[in-house]
Structure 1
Amino acid sequence: MAILLRAGDPALNDPFLDKALEGMILSASGWRGIFAETGNEEDTGDAIKPVHGVIAALAAEVFAGYLIRKNSGLKKAPVVILGMDTRPTGPAIADPMIRLLLVSGCRVRYTGITAAPEIMAFARLARETPNFVKADGFVYISASHNPIGHNGLKFGLDDGGVLPASETKLLIEEFRRRLAEPDRISRIVEAANQADSLALDEVYAAEKQVKQEAFQAYLDFTREVCAGSSDLPHEGPGEIPELIARGLQDQPLGVAADFNGSARTVSIDREFLGSLGVTLHGMNDKPGEIAHRIVPEGESLDPCCKFLEKLHENDPSVMLGYVPDCDGDRGNLVFWDHGEQKARALEAQEVFALACVSELAHLVWTGELKYDNKGNALTKAAVAVNDPTSMRIDRIARAFDVSVFRAEVGEANVVGLARKLREQGYLVRILGEGSAGGNITHPSAVRDPINTLVSLIKLLAIRSEGERKGFFELWCNLSDQAEIYRPDFTLSDIIAALPAFISTGTYTPEAVLQVKTTDHGLLKSRYQKIFLREWEERKELLRTRYGITGWEAAVYNGMEEKRGISDFSIAGKGGLKISFINKTGHAAACIWMRGSGTEPVFRVMADVEGSDRRIERALIEWQRKMVSEADNTRGVV
């Protein structure tokens, strides 16, 4: 590999580095920025600016130091797995990182292109054997769903999840401290060029073998996630995959995948789904064959809908489709709608709701979630979600008599919250960021479209047999909808049985604002004054038109939720939600806001019980108006 960092390069100077850093966002969800050499976020070239090589190298040095300190006392070099998605700038970022990891005293295992859930499963399952080295941590090069010219970094340890926000904060602080050093560029350039060429060659030479090991570790782990707990009163976890395969013999299922050139093109999808009896049909299935917008929302799902319709015409068993993002840790779904007789996309919140129904039914079916003779849960169980996840999940959880806990947006926050709940004795099988679609199924610690597909497949394949009720019939009974169940149900019937809610899509134009106020605590303080004024003006209309009789504010910072707050500013950069209470005392709608941690935008949302989209439209327009007024208000605190 060519050395990207050369002493004396005129492009390696402080002003260029400072400008590159200004465009980066550093958060627990990832360190991201535009790495394309031209600075164009849609640039498909593979070159990066030399200063971005410095940034990547310094980040690797900081992570290496973190691992060394964490493993102090162990007389071995930390082992770091490094992989990337299919963005063209990935290799140019990987090379300086590998060099600094080696120079810093780490062993590097390079997977090349790998899906995010794959590298995390590899880090989790890698165990010490004569020919297999246990990892101490991983670095993943990706900007997830951001445009192709973006790239970034995620860091994690050997537990299979990204670092929690508290640990990421330490990395960011050390990264910034070293950036303040006067010799920051020259020192990193010198260090990068000191990497042992033989050790570097060995890292690249082992790439194919390491990738095969990652693939197998991910395949084994996904089978474990699909099966569930090994401590069951019935057939045991090994029966779940067999039951799926048996069910699909009677009810065949084909799946269409628009891989969009993502890292999933070289992952386990075909092999694992095939082992369940699912026939997979792929398009855009070569690594880097990115045919359309990366984020799997809205128009990005249209090609898969058309592909599904074409396949379904020749084979009616093809009824599901999915589109992953570039790193393959999320994938929203399309399906054949039997009612409309065409393919349509599922909204992200619908996808997560279906996964929750399935995985909670899984717990009931296996006997892990038990009830007394009055229908009260004997098991202390919970679902962990992010703050803009639709209240539909609360209704689903209520049917199963399990609790819902919310954290601030960010996968690390939700995973950390679920971990904390388990320490408190809760059974937490299903968690995730409902606003972005896709689920995290324990023991996995990352969103995964394969696990999402498995959740839906279980709903379709594990049907009632004799006295043993299948997943969907369990849901119908627990949600007081026993009368709608019929043995020949379809996915359309399952979707129709979900609690009715309408939520603003995360990536719709209505959900995004540009704000000038950088102090989001101040912005929310101004917003509070505006909201209180607006509430007094509108409360009678809200009561008569929508049945809203009161409100409650809640803030979300990291893993912490505070409800009933009287000072909106304490949300800071976290989430702020206002729930609207109806005459029965239940929250029937809400509005929410938060500045993105990975994109330079401010997100808003409305969530409304029922099927009247006009109410959601009215609330989101009101929310946008109030946030904009708060942003344009000066001198009001």
Structure 2
Amino acid sequence: MVYDERTGFEIGDPAIQLIPAGTSLSKEDKEIFLKNTILSVSGWRRVFAVDGDEESTTPEIGLPDKIMVGSCARLFTEFLCAEQKKKRPTIAVGLDARHTGPVIGMILIRAFLAYGCNVQYLFIAGAPEIMAYAKTNPDIDGFMYVTASHNPIGHNGLKFGLNDGAVIGKAQAQPLIDKFKVQFFNDKWIEELVRDINAVDVMAVKDVFSKINMYKNEALRQYREFTDAVITGITDKSGREEMLATIRRKIKAMNVGVLAEFNGSARAVSIDVDYLKQIGLQVTALNDKPRQIVHRIVPEGQSLDLARQELEKLSASNKAYRFAYVPDCDGDRGNIVTLDARGKSWILEAQEVFALSVVSELAYLVYAGTLTYDSAGNPQQKVAVVVNGPTSGRIEKIAEAFGAEVFRAEVGEANVVSLAALKQKQGYIVRILGEGSNGGNITLPSTVRDPINTIFAFIKMLVLRSENGKPGLFEIWAKRSGNMSVYCADFELYSVVESLPVFTTTSAFENRAIVRITTEDHAKLKAEYEKVFLGEWDNKKSMLKEKLGIEKYRVLNYEGIETKEGIGSKFRSGAERGGLKVLFEDCKGSQAAFIWMRGSGTEPVFRVLADVRGDNPAAEKILLDWHVSMIQQADKA
């Protein structure tokens, strides 16, 4: 058995036969397996724990899981050879902190070696870390990352990516899914796969294991340098160092501390603590060993309670500590706890975290001189913010203040990243993008959410203050939003949060955000929903006008990077599994509210959300209840 130097965890036994020779599965077993497996653009995911318990910490996985993992490696190798036009591509492999990760990693390594790949194994690494490594290391052709993100510990999954540091998009991912669904039922293909994996030279596996520490160190080094470029947005090295020096100086002057409550995340063995300290922050880390999981993985609601409690304690004895962050298991999502005016801890909603990050990064473009305005206050550059369908309408209000445009894509990080790339090609400056409904942000040139970048959006807002006649970030925002009354020179983060456009939005992780349905036909349900909506609009429009100022509506359909406006199937395609939004406008044509829905591809549920301008929980409830009622009526039709 080989053990990891950093964590002491078992990496695996290079000599063990992972899949018994002569392995076969019945057609029925394969069908049941696929029914319980998510195969999507965002990755291939399921409960890998062999006992089927989604909260299980067993390291063992089942035989069908092993075959899927090996198949995934084989198909991805074929894809990379064709995509990169290489006979022997180099693939980086990494894991989040889940217990089933090492055996999945073992199978991937054997399969990649069997099909002629070079493998650089990082073992446990955060998703942003391996993606930055793939993007910045010229030797890497692609990456495979083992994770189930924010899902319970018994889940696991696989994400495919290229050397641009991004997960592959739908056009590339769907053919891989389709091929797997065919070959999984091809007994000869499975027999060959098992034979090839078991035939791999033990010494070749040992060699991969022996280099884990070397590649991990190199990945950390490149991730640190990449993070410098991301948080400054400056490609020139001397300019980047000058901005970092300014940030360090201002952090030192203010004396700022951060609490990192890792909850056993892969980020616990990433750059976080060292990087934050070297830039001048005080740092306290909790649950900072991988698998030291003390609460649910998704960093929402009650998962932030520990950070909230500990931040209050820290701040009471050391006023430097102003906020805390909690990442998920793979470390690409992280939400924030800060302090209010009384020094009481305050859990920010995911939508608020993203909104503040957008304000900070757009103001930073102005601060850095990248975004300028003419004498009439009009932007002299085209600037875009890219978000998903259910991100709150407050982003449009923020963008409007800066003269930026908002573009929306279907749910899914790959969709948002692809749309941002398109907008860049069209001449837009795209600094920040993301899925406000899920929290976190993507700050280019990064192509993945990263809590470090969220933290520094907050840090820059806090420390890049007005100085020597040059407006700081908060003053820039206050002026652009026409709300200078909120600004004062000695502000704290809570002042910035309170200055955000006020919207009331359903949390994506509330029980109310899920509606169970009976139909499997999403196209039929949407068609029926539209009929119900048209029938009810006439009855409710007077009430909606009176209570919410709603005068009219637009129906928007999100598929991939496209938004199609209109009612009816001609504005959707395929199985019509994209998001559908009814956008409500006031008499001036401004966004007043919206209701949104999107069906799951693996379980009989629709995810739903309502977003209402203003602090109006009652209105949000009225809209969401109405929305759910219409979905239920459509489901029964």
TM-score between both structures, scaled by the size of structure 1:
0.95
Cα deviation, residue 570, structure 1? 1.9
Q: Match for 1:25: what amino acid? A: I
Q: Match for 1:139: what amino acid? A: M
Secondary structure class of the residue paired with 2:240: coil
Contact 1:29 1:598 in 2 (8 A): no
Secondary structure class of the residue paired with 1:39: coil
Say which of 361, 364, 370 aligns to 1:362: 364
Q: Is the aligned partner of 1:91 residue 2:102?
A: yes
After TM superposition, the structure 1 stretch with the greater mean CA deviation from structure 2, 270-279 or 379-388, is 270-279
Q: Partner residue of 1:113? A: 124
Q: Is the aligned partner of 1:605 residue 2:609?
A: yes
After TM superposition, the structure 1 stretch with the greater mean CA deviation from structure 2, 559-568 or 421-430, is 559-568
Say which of 237, 242, 248 aligns to 2:240: 237
Measured at CA, do residues 320 and 511 of structure 1 come closer, stay the same or move farther in structure 2, by a change above 3 Å? Answer: same
Contact 1:568 1:576 in 2 (8 A): no
Q: Partner residue of 1:304? A: 307
Cα deviation, residue 483, structure 1? 2.5
Q: Partner residue of 1:286? A: 289
Measured at CA, do residues 231 and 201 of structure 1 come closer, stay the same or move farther in structure 2, by a change above 3 Å? Answer: closer
Contact 1:608 1:616 in 2 (8 A): yes
Secondary structure class of the residue paired with 1:42: coil
After TM superposition, the structure 1 stretch with the greater mean CA deviation from structure 2, 371-380 or 164-173, is 164-173
Q: Match for 2:17: what amino acid? A: I
Secondary structure class of the residue paired with 1:562: strand
Q: Partner residue of 1:130? A: none
Say which of 191, 196, 201 aligns to 1:191: 196
Measured at CA, do residues 334 and 174 of structure 1 come closer, stay the same or move farther in structure 2, by a change above 3 Å? Answer: same
Written as runs of structure 1 = structure 2, the 5 A alignment for 1:365-380 is: 365-380=367-382
| CA distance in structure 1 between the aligned counterparts of 2:357 and 2:457, rounded to whole angstroms | 5
Q: Partner residue of 2:7? A: none
| CA distance in structure 1 between the aligned counterparts of 2:350 and 2:268, rounded to whole angstroms | 22
Q: Is the aligned partner of 1:210 residue 2:224?
A: no
Q: Partner residue of 2:492? A: 490
Cα-to-partner distance string for 1:438-460 (whole Å, 9 max, x where unaligned): 11000000000000000000000
Q: Partner residue of 1:335? A: 338
Contact 1:553 1:566 in 2 (8 A): no
Q: Match for 2:613: what amino acid? A: E
Q: Is the aligned partner of 1:25 residue 2:38?
A: yes
Contact 2:261 2:307 in 1 (8 A): yes
Cα deviation, residue 9, structure 1? 5.5
Written as runs of structure 1 = structure 2, the 5 A alignment for 1:206-285 is: 206-230=211-235, 236-285=239-288
Contact 1:25 1:599 in 2 (8 A): no
| CA distance in structure 2 between the aligned counterparts of 1:509 and 1:3, rounded to whole angstroms | 44
Measured at CA, do residues 221 and 285 of structure 1 come closer, stay the same or move farther in structure 2, by a change above 3 Å? Answer: same
After TM superposition, the structure 1 stretch with the greater mean CA deviation from structure 2, 378-387 or 595-604, is 595-604
Say which of 593, 597, 614 aligns to 1:589: 593
Secondary structure class of the residue paired with 1:447: coil
Secondary structure class of the residue paired with 1:434: coil
Q: Match for 2:485: what amino acid? A: E
Q: Is the aligned partner of 1:625 residue 2:629?
A: yes
Contact 2:518 2:604 in 1 (8 A): no
Cα deviation, residue 598, structure 1? 7.5
| CA distance in structure 2 between the aligned counterparts of 1:106 and 1:326, rounded to whole angstroms | 28
| CA distance in structure 1 between the aligned counterparts of 2:43 and 2:517, rounded to whole angstroms | 22
After TM superposition, the structure 1 stretch with the greater mean CA deviation from structure 2, 316-325 or 18-27, is 18-27
Say which of 571, 577, 580 aligns to 1:573: 577
Say which of 466, 469, 490 aligns to 2:468: 466
Say which of 19, 44, 57 aligns to 2:70: 57
| CA distance in structure 1 between the aligned counterparts of 2:470 and 2:239, rounded to whole angstroms | 15
| CA distance in structure 2 between the aligned counterparts of 1:624 and 1:568, rounded to whole angstroms | 24
Cα deviation, residue 422, structure 1? 0.5
Q: Partner residue of 1:154? A: 159
Cα deviation, residue 25, structure 1? 0.8
Cα deviation, residue 14, structure 1? 4.2
Q: Match for 1:228: what amino acid? A: G
Cα deviation, residue 13, structure 1? 4.5
Q: Match for 2:251: what amino acid? A: L
Q: Partner residue of 1:352? A: 354
| CA distance in structure 1 between the aligned counterparts of 2:624 and 2:543, rounded to whole angstroms | 16
Say which of 421, 424, 447 aligns to 1:445: 447
Cα-to-partner distance string for 1:321-377 (whole Å, 9 max, x where unaligned): 0110000001011011124x3112100000000000011011111111111100111
After TM superposition, the structure 1 stretch with the greater mean CA deviation from structure 2, 457-466 or 311-320, is 311-320
Q: Match for 2:74: what amino acid? A: E
Secondary structure class of the residue paired with 2:583: strand
Q: Partner residue of 1:131? A: none
| CA distance in structure 1 between the aligned counterparts of 2:188 and 2:518, rounded to whole angstroms | 34
| CA distance in structure 1 between the aligned counterparts of 2:475 and 2:571, rounded to whole angstroms | 46
Cα deviation, residue 18, structure 1? 3.0
Q: Partner residue of 2:184? A: 179
Measured at CA, do residues 111 and 230 of structure 1 come closer, stay the same or move farther in structure 2, by a change above 3 Å? Answer: closer
Secondary structure class of the residue paired with 2:148: coil
| CA distance in structure 2 between the aligned counterparts of 1:585 and 1:226, rounded to whole angstroms | 36
- Seq. identity, %: 46
Cα-to-partner distance string for 1:558-598 (whole Å, 9 max, x where unaligned): 00011244558726100101011111211110000002457
Cα deviation, residue 15, structure 1? 3.5
Secondary structure class of the residue paired with 1:384: strand
Cα deviation, residue 601, structure 1? 3.8
Q: Match for 1:279: what amino acid? A: Q
Contact 2:299 2:326 in 1 (8 A): yes
Cα deviation, residue 179, structure 1? 1.7
Q: Match for 1:103: what amino acid? A: A
| CA distance in structure 2 between the aligned counterparts of 1:25 and 1:324, rounded to whole angstroms | 23
| CA distance in structure 2 between the aligned counterparts of 1:563 and 1:17, rounded to whole angstroms | 39
Q: Partner residue of 2:483? A: 481
Q: Is the aligned partner of 1:399 residue 2:401?
A: yes
Q: Partner residue of 1:16? A: 29
Cα deviation, residue 485, structure 1? 1.1
Contact 1:117 1:447 in 2 (8 A): yes
| CA distance in structure 1 between the aligned counterparts of 2:590 and 2:344, rounded to whole angstroms | 36
Q: Is the aligned partner of 1:3 residue 2:17?
A: yes
| CA distance in structure 2 between the aligned counterparts of 1:18 and 1:527, rounded to whole angstroms | 31
| CA distance in structure 1 between the aligned counterparts of 2:422 and 2:494, rounded to whole angstroms | 36
Cα deviation, residue 230, structure 1? 3.4
Q: Match for 1:6: what amino acid? A: P
Written as runs of structure 1 = structure 2, the 5 A alignment for 1:480-519 is: 480-519=482-521
| CA distance in structure 1 between the aligned counterparts of 2:334 and 2:244, rounded to whole angstroms | 21
Q: Partner residue of 1:323? A: 326
Secondary structure class of the residue paired with 1:146: coil
Cα deviation, residue 502, structure 1? 0.9
Cα-to-partner distance string for 1:186-217 (whole Å, 9 max, x where unaligned): 22221211112111111111111111111111
Q: Partner residue of 2:4? A: none
Contact 1:325 1:331 in 2 (8 A): yes
Cα deviation, residue 515, structure 1? 2.0
Q: Match for 1:354: what amino acid? A: L
Secondary structure class of the residue paired with 1:608: strand
Structure 2 residues not aligned, in runs of 5+: 1-12
| CA distance in structure 1 between the aligned counterparts of 2:410 and 2:80, rounded to whole angstroms | 27
Secondary structure class of the residue paired with 1:237: helix
Cα deviation, residue 23, structure 1? 0.6
Aligned pair count reads: 621
| CA distance in structure 1 between the aligned counterparts of 2:64 and 2:33, rounded to whole angstroms | 7
Cα deviation, residue 546, structure 1? 1.5
After TM superposition, the structure 1 stretch with the greater mean CA deviation from structure 2, 558-567 or 405-414, is 558-567
| CA distance in structure 2 between the aligned counterparts of 1:431 and 1:364, rounded to whole angstroms | 17
